[in-house]
Structure 1
Amino acid sequence: MSHQPQDELELWRSYIRGSLDSITEARLDALLQGDEAAFAAYTAALSSLESELPGLEDEAAYMLAIMEILPQAKLSKERGGSRKSWTRHPLLHYAIAATLTALLLGSGLFDLIAAETDHLMNQADASSLSERMMEATAGWLDSWKR
């Protein structure tokens, strides 16, 4: 960007008119997304070209069309939003986790795992603890499938 305000204003005017090469246009696009000063310069150039830019042919019809679309968009958002809101509620996730924990505790699964782990940790084998854990888990899963 140029340091002179008039050159900068003319650059943004060329950008708005679409008369820049693609590389400069891409650079200015990137500036608009991340630089507030560039955006302010762009809006100044846009307002200075207001008389050149095309206006709405029927502004009232355009506003009515937008106003008709808004209630439909709001209704569709409300319909979809209410269904998602209860399924994403943390209390539901907590209740599911608590129920699963209670089922696993009641079935004795944690007792089996604890007993097997205690047995494996107290062995004096030369094999590593992780190998023994894998063997015990595989054996437990095989017996559970039967």
Structure 2
Amino acid sequence: MKENRHNVILDIIKKFEVETQEDLAEKLREEGINVTQATVSRDIKELNLIKTLSHTGNYKYAQANPNKNSSLSSMAYIFSNTAISVEKIDKMLVVKTISASAGIAAEAIDSFQLDGIAGTIAGDNTIFIAVRTEEKAEAIKREIEKLIK
């Protein structure tokens, strides 16, 4: 029963921009699956769903780890769905993310092991990246821009 519900949830979030747990519970009910908000909350955690910014500018649920075979591609997926912009200031890069996503996005940047990065610091929706040279900063900025688009 739980496995079936999880499969239905994954289908729903692929087809619709589901913004809240209540919306997800309603969609499940439309599919004939009666759930409580607590069950939906547990399912979201078990499925590793995250909130991402959709192309319409609203937040929606998405699967954080769509390809379990590749942690690097998973991190790129997470980064591309949470990062909004990147700006170069001298030898520093500033990456803006959706709210509460800077930590996981910074972890993704660290996992890419880009040459020239001295370190990253993440807040709630901002990441500061210290880069060793301005040339490396420009190259890393271009790489990050590719991931954002």
Q: Per the shorter chain, which TM-score range? A: under 0.3
Higher strand share: 2
Which structure: larger Rg?
Answer: 1
TM-score (norm 1): 0.28
Q: Which is bigger in relative contact order (C-alpha 8 A, separation at least 6)?
A: 2
